[in-house]
């Protein structure tokens, strides 16, 4: 039954995430929002909806290890796995003048997680601080938004259809997240696998499927702004929005064993920033390197239980 729940949850997250993003982008296009801002906000945050619902569900179910592992594991997977796949499909280039502010936020929020790990818990007050920082980021993103540089004409589907897609996608995402957490928790307890490992692997990758689908499609179409913006926006929202919201509902203890995985996330973030600041692109070779690093990390985790 647990395996069935996990399979249903993954399928619902993939389908729901796709509908959620298509609906969000359809709405955004009606207002002439630039591709980068769409990627950073509506697409980036929209594809992080599974992580948000999953972490909340895990915390409320008494398994905070899955909630924390989901955020840390998702950010690592977003960079090494998803950007790796996207770069193999089509090299991802960055307009550094447009994304420099967002890269600062990505690096800063990653360091913030390391600080929270030292404190040992993300309580209600810290959760409010994280959400306040998210508000500042959103204000800066929209304030600095540039007019669209490409055709963002109103899609063929009417506005009402885009809204319906958004609602259906949200419902599937919520249902899939609940099923995934229930199934993954059952598997973890049945086989003695630590909750944090389940959160870092199965749950993190499962909830990142919408990012994978969206980023791969954007890369295939040569839309580097959307592909890169999706990953940057998701990383920022995962830390500020998901940890912040979850901690306000249920304080989240951070186990000392998570420090290793937080260092991996920091290293992946540092590698991404270094590539973008020195080359302003992620080549196919770099994408292959990302995937090899992620495979090695997964192999290492599999040996820890």
Q: What is the pLDDT of residues 215-266, one digit of tens each?
A: 777 777 777 777 788 788 888 988 999 899 999 988 888 888 888 899 999 9
Instruction: Please state, in angstroms and rounded to a whole number, the distance separating the CA atoms of residues 129 and 151.
Output: 38
- Structure-token pair, residue 231: 């990953």
Q: Please check whether residue 210 is in contact with residue 42, taking contact to mean a CB–CB distance below 8 angstroms.
A: no
Q: Give the model's pLDDT for residue 154.
A: 39
Q: What is the pLDDT of residues 107-137, one digit of tens each?
A: 999 999 999 999 988 999 999 999 999 999 8
C-beta neighbour count of 241 within 10 angstroms: 25
- Structure-token pair, residue 181: 């957490």
- CA–centroid distance for 188 within its chain: 23
Instruction: Please state, in angstroms and rounded to a whole number, the distance separating the CA atoms of residues 185 and 189.
Output: 6
Q: Give the model's pLDDT for residue 53.
A: 79
Q: Give the model's pLDDT for residue 262.
A: 93
Question: SS3 for 198?
Answer: helix
Q: Give the model's pLDDT for residue 149.
A: 46
- Structure-token pair, residue 213: 């689908």
Verdict on whether the full-model pTM lies above 0.75: yes
Exposed, middle or buried by CB within 10 Å (0-12, 13-18, 19+), for 56? buried
C-beta neighbour count of 111 within 10 angstroms: 12
Helix axes 2-30, 209-220, angle to 10 degrees: 50
Distances 289 to 16, 129, 160, 284, 285 between C-alpha atoms, Å: 30, 36, 43, 9, 6
Q: Give the model's pLDDT for residue 168.
A: 87
Q: Give the model's pLDDT for residue 33.
A: 64
Question: SS3 for 282?
Answer: strand
Burial 187-215 (b: 16+ CB within 10 A, else e): bbeeeebbbbbbbbbbbbbbbbbbbbbbb
Q: Give the model's pLDDT for residue 69.
A: 84
Q: Give the model's pLDDT for residue 2.
A: 81
DSSP-assigned states of every residue in 84-109: HHHHHHSPEE--HHHHHHHHHHHHHH
Q: pLDDT below 50 — which residues of the chain?
A: 148-156
């Amino acid at each position: 039954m647990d395996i069935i729940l996990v399979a249903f949850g993954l399928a619902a997250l993939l389908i729901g995430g796709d509908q959620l993003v298509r609906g969000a982008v359809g709405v955004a296009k009606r207002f002439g929002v630039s591709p980068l801002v769409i990627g950073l906000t509506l697409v980036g945050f929209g594809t992080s909806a599974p992580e948000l619902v999953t972490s909340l569900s895990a915390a409320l179910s008494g398994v905070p290890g899955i909630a924390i592992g989901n955020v840390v594991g998702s950010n690592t997977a977003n960079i090494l796995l998803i950007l790796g796949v996207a770069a193999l499909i089509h090299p991802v280039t960055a307009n550094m003048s447009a994304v420099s502010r967002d890269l600062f936020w990505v690096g800063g929020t990653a360091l913030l997680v390391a600080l929270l790990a030292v404190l040992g818990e993300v309580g209600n007050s810290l959760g409010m601080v994280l959400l306040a920082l998210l508000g500042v980021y959103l204000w800066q993103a929209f304030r600095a938004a540039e007019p669209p540089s490409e055709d963002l004409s109103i899609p063929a589907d009417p506005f009402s259809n885009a809204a319906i897609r958004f609602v259906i996608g949200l419902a599937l995402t919520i249902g899939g997240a609940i099923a995934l957490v229930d199934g993954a928790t059952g598997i973890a307890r049945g086989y003695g696998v630590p909750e944090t490992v389940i959160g870092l692997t199965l749950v993190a990758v499962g909830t990142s499927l919408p990012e994978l689908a969206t980023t791969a499609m954007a890369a295939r179409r040569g839309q580097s702004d959307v592909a890169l913006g999706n990953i940057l926006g998701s990383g920022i929202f995962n830390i500020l929005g998901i940890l912040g919201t979850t901690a306000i509902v249920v304080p989240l203890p951070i186990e000392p064993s998570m420090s290793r995985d937080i260092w991996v996330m920091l290293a992946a973030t540092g590698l991404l920033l270094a590539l973008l600041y020195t080359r302003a692109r992620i080549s196919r070779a770099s994408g292959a390197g990302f995937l090899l690093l992620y495979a090695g990390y997964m192999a290492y985790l599999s040996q820890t239980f």
